[in-house]
Structure 1
Amino acid sequence: MISVIMLTYNREKLVSRAIESILAQTYRDFEFLIVDNGSTDRSGQIAEEYAAGDGRIRVIHRERGNIGSGRNAGLDAAKGDSIAFIDDDDWAEPDFLEFLLALLEENGADVAICGAADKSFDEKKVMTAEEALIELMWRKKYNMAFPTKLFRRELMEHLRFPEDGAYDDIALMYRLLAEAETVAYHGLPKYTFYRHEGNNSAWTTNHSLLTPETLEEYLRAYRARTVWLSERFPAGAASFRYFEWSFMISMVEKIDRLGLKDCEPQRKAMERELSAGREEFLRAPELLPFEREWMMEYIKGE
Structure 2
Amino acid sequence: MPKISVLMPCLNVVKYITQCMDSVICQTLTDIEILIIDAGSVDGTLQILHEYMHKDSRIHLIHSDKKSYGYQMNMGISLACGNYIAIVETDDIIQPEMLEVLYQKAVETNADYVKGTSEGFYRESGGMEWRFSILPCKELIKNNEYCAVPKDTPELFLYDNFLWNGIYKTVFMRKIKFNETPGAAFQDIGALFQILSTAQKGVYCKYFVYHYRQDNFNASSYNRKGLMYTAEEYDYTEQFIRKLSGKWNRVYYLKMVGLTVDRFHAMAISGEYWPEAEGGIKRLRERVLLAVRNGLILPEECEDWQKSLWFKLDLFLKSPNSLFEYLKQDYEIKFIRLKEIYETAILHKIYIFGAGKTGQFVAMFLLMKGIKNIIGYCDNNVELQGKSLGRFSVLSPSEAVEKQPDAFYIIAVKNYVHEIKEQMVELGVSEDRIEIYSMGTDTSLLQRKLDKKS
Give the TM-score of the pair, scaled to structure 1.
0.82
Query: Could you tell me which residue of structure 1 aligns to residue 215 of structure 2?
Result: 196
Separation in structure 1 between the aligned mates of residue 217 and residue 309 of structure 2, nearest angstrom: 30
Unpaired stretches in structure 1, ≥5 consecutive residues: 204-208
| 2:161 counterpart of 1:149 | no
Aligned 8 A contact 1:114 1:185 in 2: yes
Separation in structure 2 between the aligned mates of residue 160 and residue 49 of structure 1, nearest angstrom: 32
> How many residues are treated as equivalent by the alignment?
290
Aligned 8 A contact 2:112 2:201 in 1: yes
Query: Could you tell me which residue of structure 2 aligns to residue 160 of structure 1?
Result: 177
What is the one-letter code of the residue matched to 1:240? Answer: Y
| 2:227 counterpart of 1:215 | yes
- Alignment RMSD (CA, Å): 2.9
Separation in structure 2 between the aligned mates of residue 199 and residue 11 of structure 1, nearest angstrom: 10
- CA deviations over 1:23-74 (Å, ceiling 9, x no partner): 1111111011122221113212211211211111112234452122222332
Query: Could you tell me which residue of structure 2 aligns to residue 294 of structure 1?
Result: 312
Greater RCO, 1 or 2 (C-alpha within 8 Å, sep 6+): 1
User: Pick from 94, 97, 119: which aligns with 2:134?
Assistant: 119
User: Pick from 269, 288, 301: which aligns with 1:284?
Assistant: 301
Separation in structure 1 between the aligned mates of residue 303 and residue 318 of structure 2, nearest angstrom: 20
1:223 to partner: Cα distance: 5.1
1:251 to partner: Cα distance: 5.4
Alpha-carbon spacing, 1:94–1:264, altered in 2? closer, same or farther (3 Å): same
Query: Could you tell me which residue of structure 1 aligns to residue 248 of structure 2?
Result: 236
Alpha-carbon spacing, 1:158–1:290, altered in 2? closer, same or farther (3 Å): closer
Alpha-carbon spacing, 1:274–1:173, altered in 2? closer, same or farther (3 Å): closer
Unpaired stretches in structure 2, ≥5 consecutive residues: 120-132, 320-454
Aligned 8 A contact 1:252 1:271 in 2: no
- CA deviations over 1:69-119 (Å, ceiling 9, x no partner): 222332222111111111111110000101111221222201111111130
Query: Could you tell me which residue of structure 2 aligns to residue 179 of structure 1?
Result: 198
> Which structure has the greater CA radius of gyration?
2
Separation in structure 1 between the aligned mates of residue 39 and residue 195 of structure 2, nearest angstrom: 24
1:181 to partner: Cα distance: 0.8
Query: Could you tell me which residue of structure 2 aligns to residue 130 of structure 1?
Result: 151
Q: Give the % identical residues.
A: 21
Separation in structure 1 between the aligned mates of residue 66 and residue 251 of structure 2, nearest angstrom: 38
Aligned to 1:158, the other structure's residue is in SS state coil
What is the one-letter code of the residue matched to 1:45? Answer: Q
Aligned 8 A contact 2:113 2:168 in 1: yes
Separation in structure 2 between the aligned mates of residue 155 and residue 282 of structure 1, nearest angstrom: 36
Give the TM-score of the pair, scaled to structure 2.
0.57
What is the one-letter code of the residue matched to 2:199? Answer: A
Query: Could you tell me which residue of structure 2 aligns to residue 109 of structure 1?
Result: 111
User: Pick from 82, 85, 94: which aligns with 1:83?
Assistant: 85
1:62-77 residue pairs with structure 2 within 5 A? 62-77=64-79
Query: Could you tell me which residue of structure 1 aligns to residue 451 of structure 2?
Result: none
Worse-superposed segment, 6-15 or 243-252? 243-252
Aligned 8 A contact 1:8 1:34 in 2: yes
